[in-house]
C-alpha cells in the first residue's frame, strides 16, 4: 500500500574542508497511502536529499524512513524515480528505455514490448517509440522517463522537479496528464518542486523545507478533479500568497516565525 | 568575405580541391621527368614517375617465391599476399589490444583499490614513446609475426585501457541511479549502463591508435620481419628500387584511406544515438 | 561515507559548517573519523606508489625466472643506467663509438627537437594561412588529407636515398610528421571557435583581420598547444625508428646494433633515457600551456 514514515531523519555530508554539513535535520513526517505530497523549498534546502533517502540512494546519517513499516535498505522497483536531470539511456530507443525495468524483472521479450507500447500510448509517445532520446524535446523526454517508471508499476512515485525546465503551457499540460494518470492508478507520490503554483495545483499536502528543516506541513483541500480554472481562482491566489510568504520567510536570517500561517489551506467554496 | 554566397563558395572550393590534385600529380610527373634525366643514383631514378610506379607491380613477383616469372598477375598476387600479412598483424593487434584494454579498463573501474594500485605502473609505462618499445618486443619474440602483433596490441591496449577507465568514471551518476531505482543489480548496471556509455570514449581512443596504426606496423616490420608491406619497403630501399618503394607507399595510403572511411562509418553507426555537437 | 555518529553532537541550529566535529566530544569516535578521513585523502597518493613498488617487485622476480636475455634484473640494470652513458663494451665492439650512449642520446635529442621545431613552425604557418584564406584552404586541403594517409615512417627510405644516411633524413621525417599533425589540429581548432565571438566582434565593427588577430588566435591557443604536445610526443618514436632505417648515430642505431645480441639491458637503458627526454620536453610544453592559458577556467585547460 506504500505508506511512508519519516522519523527524525538527518543527513549530513562531509565537505572537503568545512567538516560535516547538515542537508537534512530532524525531519519527521507520516505520509498516508495514495496521497500526493509536494515538497517545496528553495534551492539547496534539501529536497533532492530527502527524495534520495526515500529512493534508497542515500543512507540517512541518523533517523530512519519506513516503507509500509519496513526500513528502506536500498533502491527498489517498488519506488519509481523521475530524476531532476534528463536521465534516459541515450543509446536505447524510446521503447527500449521503457522496457528496461521489465528486462530487469526478466519478462519475456514480446510481453515487455507490448507493455512498453501500452505505457508509451498512455504518455502520448506512441509515434516516437523507435526514436533515440536525442530526437525528443524536453517535454517528451520527461514523458519518456515517466513511461519508463510507470511500466514498472511502482506503488510509490518519487519525482524531482520533473517539469522545472519546461515552458508554462507544456508544464500545465503535463501536470493535468499526471493527475489524470494518478486518478486511474493511484500511487503515493512525493513531488519535489520549487514552483508554488505547481505544488498547490497537484498536491493533497505540501511540506516546506528550509535549510534542511521541515518548517511547514499543510493539507491542500481544493476539490478534484482540478482544472486550469482553479489556477485563476481567488482561493488559489490566497493559498499561493501564503505559501510564498512562508518560503520568503525562510530566506530571512531571523528565526522563522510560523505565526500567521494557516493550519490548512481552505477548501474551494 | 561576407559578400559571396555559400553554395557559390563551396563550388569554388571544389574547383580548388580538384585543381590542387591535378597540380600535385603534374608536379610529381614533371619533377620525376627532370630527376630521371639529371639525378640517377645507381641506375635508379631518385623520384620515380607515376607510370613507373604502376610498372613496379610486376616486379613484386620475386616475393612470391624465388624464380617466379615477372608478370603483372604474379606481382598482384605478391602484393595481395603481403597486404594480407600486414593486415593480419595490424587488425589482429588492434582487436586483441582493444578487447584486453576494454576488459581491463572495466575491471579497474570496478575496484578503486586495484585502480589506484595499477595507476602508477600504467602511467609509468604510458610515458614511454610507444615506438621506442619495438626493440623490446622484437627481442622477446624475435621479429615473428606474433611479436609485431603483440607490439600493436600493447600500443592499442595502453591507449584504450586509460580511455576506458576515464570514461567509466565519467558516466553520469544519474544514469546509474536510474538503473538502480529500476531494480538493476551491480553486474547488470555494468553490462547495460556503463558498457554502452563508454563506447564513444573507447571509439575516440581507438581512432587515435588507428591513426598511428600503420606507423606502429611499419616500425615493427622495418626492425624485424620476413614479410609484409614494411619488409618489402625496407628491402626495396636496400636495392634502391625507388619505384617499388613509391608503389608500397601509395598502397599504404590507399589502405589507410579505406580503413579510415570504414572505421568512421562503423563508428558513426555505432554512436548514432549520440547528439551531434 | 556513512556517518552514524556525528549528528548526535550537532548543535540544534542550522550552523554546522565551520564546526569541527573531531575536536570535541567523544574522542574515540572523533579520532576514528579523523583517521578515516585522513586515509580517504592519503590513499590516492599512497596506493599508486605501492602499486609501483609491486610492479618493480614483479619485474625483479620475473627477471630471475626469465634470465638476463629476456628480462634483465633491476639490480643489475640500475648501475648500467649511468655507466652506459659513458661506456659500453658491446656497443663499442659493434662500432658504436667508445663514448657509450651519450653521443647517441645527444643526436636523437638534436634531431627530434630541430625537426619538431621546424615542423611546428611550418605547421602553424600553413594551418593559420588555411584558416585565414579560403583560397589557401581550397588549394591545400586535399594535399594535406593525402599527406595524413602517409605514415611518416613510410617516407624514411626516400629521404635516406635522397639525403644519404645523414641527419637531414631524420630531421625531414620528423618535420613531415610534426607538420601534418600541427596543420590538422590548427585548422580543426579554428573551425571549432564558436562563431558567436566573431559575430560579437563584427557587430562592434572589427575588421576581419582584427578578428583573426584578437579573437581567433587567442581562442585556438589551448587546442593548438595540445596538438603540438601530441606531435612532439609522436616525434620521439618517429625519430628513433627512422634512425634504425639509416643514421650515423642515435638511439635507433643503438637498437639496431643490440637487437641481434639480445642485449636487452642496453636496449632498456636506451629506452629509459629516451623516455626521460620525452617527459622533460613534454613538461616544458605543459608549463608553456599553463602560462599561456591562465585566462581559462581551470577545468577546460
Ligand atoms: N553529495 C553531496 N556532498 C556534499 N554536499 C551535498 C551533496 N549533495 C547535496 N549536498 C548539499 O546539501 C544541500 C541540499 O542539497 P539538495 O540537492 O538536497 O538541494 P535541493 O533542495 O534539491 O536544491 P535544488 O532545488 O537546487 O535542486 C545543498 O547545500 C548541497 O550543497
Ligand atoms: Mg534538487
CA B72 vs. chain centroid, Å, equals: 28
User: Inter-chain contact B129–C162, Cβ cutoff 8 Å?
Assistant: no
d(CA B206, CA B157): 9
Q: Which three cell numbers stand for residue C37?
A: 578521513
Query: Does residue C193 sit in helix, strand or coil?
Result: coil
Indicate whether A96 belongs to any domain. yes
Tell me, in angstroms, the distance from the centre of ligand 2 to residue A212's CA.
Answer: 12
- Most ligand 1 atoms within 8 A of CB, residue of A49, A51, A163 to mutate: A49
Judged by a CB distance cut-off of 8 A, whether residue B24 touches chain C is yes
- Does C15 or B62 have the greater pLDDT score? B62
Quick one: CA torsion of C143, C145, C150, C151, rounded to 10 degrees?
140
The CATH label, of 1.10.3720.10, 3.10.20.740, 3.40.50.11260, 1.10.357.10, for the domain at C77-300 is 1.10.3720.10
The closest of B38, B49, B18 to B250, measured between CA atoms, is B49
User: Inter-chain contact A14–C17, Cβ cutoff 8 Å?
Assistant: no
Residues that place a CB less than 5 A from ion ligand 2:
A 48
- Going by pLDDT thresholds of 50, 70 and 90, the confidence category of residue B41 is low
Q: Is the pLDDT of residue C26 over 60?
A: no
As a residue count, chain B comes to 277
Q: Which residues contact residue C119 at a Cβ distance below 8 angstroms, ignoring those fewer than 6 apart?
A: C174, C175, C176, C177, C178, C179, C182, C231, C235
Q: Which three cell numbers stand for residue B123?
A: 602511467
Task: Out of B28-42, B142-156, C216-230, pick the least confident.
Answer: B28-42
- Does C61 or A253 have the greater pLDDT score? C61
Which helix (H) or strand (E) element contains residue C61? helix C27-66
- Does C103 or B46 have the greater pLDDT score? C103
- Most ligand 1 atoms within 8 A of CB, residue of A22, A43, A45, A194 to mutate: A45
The closest of A199, A197, A267, A196 to A235, measured between CA atoms, is A267
- Does A179 or C89 have the greater pLDDT score? A179
Ligand nearest to the CA of C17: 1
CATH architecture of B82-270: Orthogonal Bundle (1.10)
Closest residue in A to B196 (Cα–Cα): A91
- A52 Cβ closer than 6 Å to some ligand 1 atom: no
- Going by pLDDT thresholds of 50, 70 and 90, the confidence category of residue B212 is confident
Mean pLDDT of C122-150: 91
CB-nearest to B183 from A87, A104, A132 is A104
**Chains in contact with A via at least 3 Cβ–Cβ pairs below 8 Å:** B, C
pLDDT in tens, chain A (269 residues): 689 999 999 998 877 666 778 899 999 999 999 999 999 998 889 999 999 999 999 989 999 999 998 999 889 888 999 988 888 999 999 999 999 999 998 999 999 999 999 999 988 899 999 999 999 998 899 889 999 999 999 999 999 998 887 888 988 988 999 999 999 889 999 999 989 999 999 999 999 998 899 988 889 888 878 888 888 888 888 888 888 888 877 665 444 444 444 445 554 44
Indicate whether A223 belongs to any domain. no
User: Inter-chain contact A91–B273, Cβ cutoff 8 Å?
Assistant: yes
d(CA C193, CA B92): 38
Give the strand pairing for A62-67 and A4-15. antiparallel
- Does B38 or B140 have the greater pLDDT score? B140
- Going by pLDDT thresholds of 50, 70 and 90, the confidence category of residue C9 is very low
Residue-level pLDDT at A128 = 94
Percent of chain B with pLDDT over 70: 93
Chain A, residues 94-123, CB within 8 A of chain B, namely 100-101, 103-105
Tell me, in angstroms, the distance from the centre of ligand 1 to residue A193's CA.
Answer: 14
Closest residue in A to B191 (Cα–Cα): A104
- Going by pLDDT thresholds of 50, 70 and 90, the confidence category of residue B107 is confident
Q: Is the pLDDT of residue C109 over 60?
A: yes
Mean pLDDT of B129-146: 83
User: Inter-chain contact A21–C16, Cβ cutoff 8 Å?
Assistant: yes
Residue-level pLDDT at C31 = 57
Task: Out of A237-251, B197-211, B227-241, pick the least confident.
Answer: A237-251
- A194 Cβ closer than 6 Å to some ligand 1 atom: yes
For residue A81, list chain B residues with Cβ-Cβ distance below 8 A. 177-178, 181
- Going by pLDDT thresholds of 50, 70 and 90, the confidence category of residue B277 is low
How many beta-carbon pairs under 8 angstroms link A with B?
Answer: 71
Give the strand pairing for A205-210 and A36-41. parallel
Ordered by start, the domain boundaries in chain C are 30-71, 77-300
CB-nearest to C6 from A18, A20, A59 is A20
Task: Out of A126-140, B220-234, C73-87, pick the least confident.
Answer: C73-87
Q: Whose CA is nearest to atom 30 of ligand 1?
A: A44
Task: Out of A101-105, B206-210, C14-18, C232-236, pick the least confident.
Answer: C14-18
Tell me, in angstroms, the distance from the centre of ligand 1 to residue C121's CA.
Answer: 50
Residue-level pLDDT at B40 = 59
Mean predicted lDDT score pLDDT of chain B: 86
Q: Whose CA is nearest to atom 18 of ligand 1?
A: A46
Residue-level pLDDT at C290 = 85
What is the least distance, in Å, from the CA of A148 to any CA of chain B? 9
**Chains in contact with C via at least 3 Cβ–Cβ pairs below 8 Å:** A, B
Q: Is the pLDDT of residue C166 over 90?
A: no
- Going by pLDDT thresholds of 50, 70 and 90, the confidence category of residue C20 is very low
Tell me, in angstroms, the distance from the centre of ligand 1 to residue A54's CA.
Answer: 15
ipTM at complex level: 0.84
What is the least distance, in Å, from the CA of A149 to any CA of chain C? 28
- Going by pLDDT thresholds of 50, 70 and 90, the confidence category of residue B252 is very high
- Going by pLDDT thresholds of 50, 70 and 90, the confidence category of residue C129 is very high
For residue B183, list chain A residues with Cβ-Cβ distance below 8 A. 75-77, 101, 104-105, 152
Indicate whether A46 belongs to any domain. no
Q: Would the CA dihedral through B116, B121, B124, B126 be positive or negative?
A: negative
CB-nearest to A75 from B181, B197, B274 is B181
Residue-level pLDDT at C11 = 34
Mean pLDDT of B179-197: 91
Q: How far apart are the first and last CA of chain A?
A: 32
Residue-level pLDDT at A18 = 66
Q: Which three cell numbers stand for residue B192?
A: 547495460
d(CA B122, CA B99): 17
Mean predicted lDDT score pLDDT of chain C: 80
Q: Would the CA dihedral through A60, A65, A71, A72 be positive or negative?
A: negative
- A15 Cβ closer than 6 Å to some ligand 1 atom: yes
Question: How many domains are there within chain A?
Answer: 1
Give the strand pairing for A205-210 and A213-219. antiparallel
Say whether pTM exceeds 0.90.
no
Task: Out of A44-53, A114-123, C40-49, C91-100, pick the least confident.
Answer: C91-100
* Contact between residue B183 and residue A152 where contact means Cβ atoms under 8 Å apart: yes
- A23 Cβ closer than 6 Å to some ligand 1 atom: yes
Residue-level pLDDT at C156 = 85
With 0-12 / 13-18 / 19 or more C-beta atoms within 10 angstroms meaning exposed / middle / buried, residue B90 is buried
Note down the domain range covering A142. Answer: 79-153
Task: Out of B124-128, B179-183, C220-224, C278-282, pick the least confident.
Answer: B124-128
CB-nearest to B183 from A57, A76, A134 is A76
d(CA B134, CA B147): 9
Amino acid at each position: 500500500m506504500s505508506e511512508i514514515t519519516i522519523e527524525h531523519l538527518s543527513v549530513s555530508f562531509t565537505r572537503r574542508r568545512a567538516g560535516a554539513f547538515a542537508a537534512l535535520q530532524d525531519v519527521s513526517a507520516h505520509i498516508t497511502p495514495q496521497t500526493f505530497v509536494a515538497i517545496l523549498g528553495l534551492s539547496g534546502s534539501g529536497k533532492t536529499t530527502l527524495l534520495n533517502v526515500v529512493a534508497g540512494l542515500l543512507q540517512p546519517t541518523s533517523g530512519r524512513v519506513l516503507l509500509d513499516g519496513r526500513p528502506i535498505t536500498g533502491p527498489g522497483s517498488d519506488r519509481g524515480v523521475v530524476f531532476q536531470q534528463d536521465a534516459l539511456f541515450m543509446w536505447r530507443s524510446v521503447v527500449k528505455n521503457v522496457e528496461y525495468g521489465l528486462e530487469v524483472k526478466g519478462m519475456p521479450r514480446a510481453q515487455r514490448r507490448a507493455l512498453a507500447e501500452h505505457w508509451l500510448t498512455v504518455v502520448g509517445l506512441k509515434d516516437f517509440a523507435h526514436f533515440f532520446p536525442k530526437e525528443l524535446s524536453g517535454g517528451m523526454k520527461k514523458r519518456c522517463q515517466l513511461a519508463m517508471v510507470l511500466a514498472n508499476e511502482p506503488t510509490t512515485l518519487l519525482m524531482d522537479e520533473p517539469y522545472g525546465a519546461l515552458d508554462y503551457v507544456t508544464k500545465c499540460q503535463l501536470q493535468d496528464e499526471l493527475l489524470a494518470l494518478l486518478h486511474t492508478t493511484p500511487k503515493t507520490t512525493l513531488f519535489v518542486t520549487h514552483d508554488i503554483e505547481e505544488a498547490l495545483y497537484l498536491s493533497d499536502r505540501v511540506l516546506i523545507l528550509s535549510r534542511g528543516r521541515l518548517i511547514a506541513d499543510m493539507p491542500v483541500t481544493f476539490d478534484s478533479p482540478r482544472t486550469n480554472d482553479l489556477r485563476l481562482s481567488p482561493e488559489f491566489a490566497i493559498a499561493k500568497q501564503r505559501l510564498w510568504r512562508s518560503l520568503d520567510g525562510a530566506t530571512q536570517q531571523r528565526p522563522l516565525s510560523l505565526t500567521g500561517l494557516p493550519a490548512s489551506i481552505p477548501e474551494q467554496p | 568575405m561576407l559578400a559571396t554566397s555559400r553554395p557559390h563558395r563551396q563550388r569554388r572550393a571544389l574547383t580548388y580541391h580538384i585543381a590542387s590534385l591535378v597540380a600535385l600529380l603534374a608536379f610529381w610527373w614533371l619533377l620525376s621527368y627532370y630527376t630521371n634525366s639529371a639525378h640517377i643514383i645507381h641506375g635508379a631514378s631518385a623520384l620515380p614517375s607515376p607510370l613507373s610506379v604502376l610498372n613496379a607491380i610486376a616486379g613484386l613477383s620475386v616475393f612470391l617465391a624465388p624464380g617466379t616469372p615477372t608478370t603483372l598477375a604474379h606481382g598482384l598476387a605478391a602484393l595481395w599476399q603481403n597486404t594480407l600479412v600486414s593486415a593480419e598483424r595490424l587488425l589482429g593487434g588492434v582487436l586483441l589490444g582493444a578487447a584486453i584494454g576494454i576488459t581491463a579498463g572495466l575491471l579497474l573501474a570496478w575496484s578503486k583499490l586495484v585502480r589506484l594500485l595499477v595507476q602508477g605502473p600504467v602511467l609509468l609505462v604510458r610515458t614511454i614513446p610507444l615506438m621506442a618499445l619495438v626493440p623490446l618486443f622484437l627481442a622477446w619474440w624475435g621479429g615473428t609475426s606474433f611479436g609485431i602483433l603483440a607490439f600493436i596490441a600493447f600500443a592499442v591496449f595502453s591507449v584504450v585501457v586509460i580511455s576506458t577507465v576515464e570514461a567509466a568514471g565519467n558516466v553520469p551518476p544519474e544514469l546509474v541511479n536510474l538503473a538502480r531505482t529500476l531494480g538493476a543489480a551491480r553486474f547488470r548496471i555494468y553490462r547495460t549502463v556503463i558498457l554502452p556509455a563508454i563506447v564513444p570514449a573507447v571509439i575516440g581512443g581507438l581512432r587515435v591508435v588507428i591513426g598511428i596504426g600503420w606507423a606502429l606496423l611499419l616500425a615493427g616490420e622495418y626492425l624485424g620481419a620476413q614479410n609484409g608491406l614494411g619488409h618489402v619497403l625496407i628491402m626495396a630501399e636496400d636495392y634502391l628500387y625507388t619505384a617499388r618503394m613509391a608503389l608500397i607507399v601509395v598502397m599504404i595510403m590507399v589502405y589507410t584511406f579505406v580503413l579510415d572511411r570504414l572505421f568512421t562509418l562503423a563508428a558513426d553507426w555505432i554512436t548514432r544515438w549520440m547528439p551531434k555537437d | 561515507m556513512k556517518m552514524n555518529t556525528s549528528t548526535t553532537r550537532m548543535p540544534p541550529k542550522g550552523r554546522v559548517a565551520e564546526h569541527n566535529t573531531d575536536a570535541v566530544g567523544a574522542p574515540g569516535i572523533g579520532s576514528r573519523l579523523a583517521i578515516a578521513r585522513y586515509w580517504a585523502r592519503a590513499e590516492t597518493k599512497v596506493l599508486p606508489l605501492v602499486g609501483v613498488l609491486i610492479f618493480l617487485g614483479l619485474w625483479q622476480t620475473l627477471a630471475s625466472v626469465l634470465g638476463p636475455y629476456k628480462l634483465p634484473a633491476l639490480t643489475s640494470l640500475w648501475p648500467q643506467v649511468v655507466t652506459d652513458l659513458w661506456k659500453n663494451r658491446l656497443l663499442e665492439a659493434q662500432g658504436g663509438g667508445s663514448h657509450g650512449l651519450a653521443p647517441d642520446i645527444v643526436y636523437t635529442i638534436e634531431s627530434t627537437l630541430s625537426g619538431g621545431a621546424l615542423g611546428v613552425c611550418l605547421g602553424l604557418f600553413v594551418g593559420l594561412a588555411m584558416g585565414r584564406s579560403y583560397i589557401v584552404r581550397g588549394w591545400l586541403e586535399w594535399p594535406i588529407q593525402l599527406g595524413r594517409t602517409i605514415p611518416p615512417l613510410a617516407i624514411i627510405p626516400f629521404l635516406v636515398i635522397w639525403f644519404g644516411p645523414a641527419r637531414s633524413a631524420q630531421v625531414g621525417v620528423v618535420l613531415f610528421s610534426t607538420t601534418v599533425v600541427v596543420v590538422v589540429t590548427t585548422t580543426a581548432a579554428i573551425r571549432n571557435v564558436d562563431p558567436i565571438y566573431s559575430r560579437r566582434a563584427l557587430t562592434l565593427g572589427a575588421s576581419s583581420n582584427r578578428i583573426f588577430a584578437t579573437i581567433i588566435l587567442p581562442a585556438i591557443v589551448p587546442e593548438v598547444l595540445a596538438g603540438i604536445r601530441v606531435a612532439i610526443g609522436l616525434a620521439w618514436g618517429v625519430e628513433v625508428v627512422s634512425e634504425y632505417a639509416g643514421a650515423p648515430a642515435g638511439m635507433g642505431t643503438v637498437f639496431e646494433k643490440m637487437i641481434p645480441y639480445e642485449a636487452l639491458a642496453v636496449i632498456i637503458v636506451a629506452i629509459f633515457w629516451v623516455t626521460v627526454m620525452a617527459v622533460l620536453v613534454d613538461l616544458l610544453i605543459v608549463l608553456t600551456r599553463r602560462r599561456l592559458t591562465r585566462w581559462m577556467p581551470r577545468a577546460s585547460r
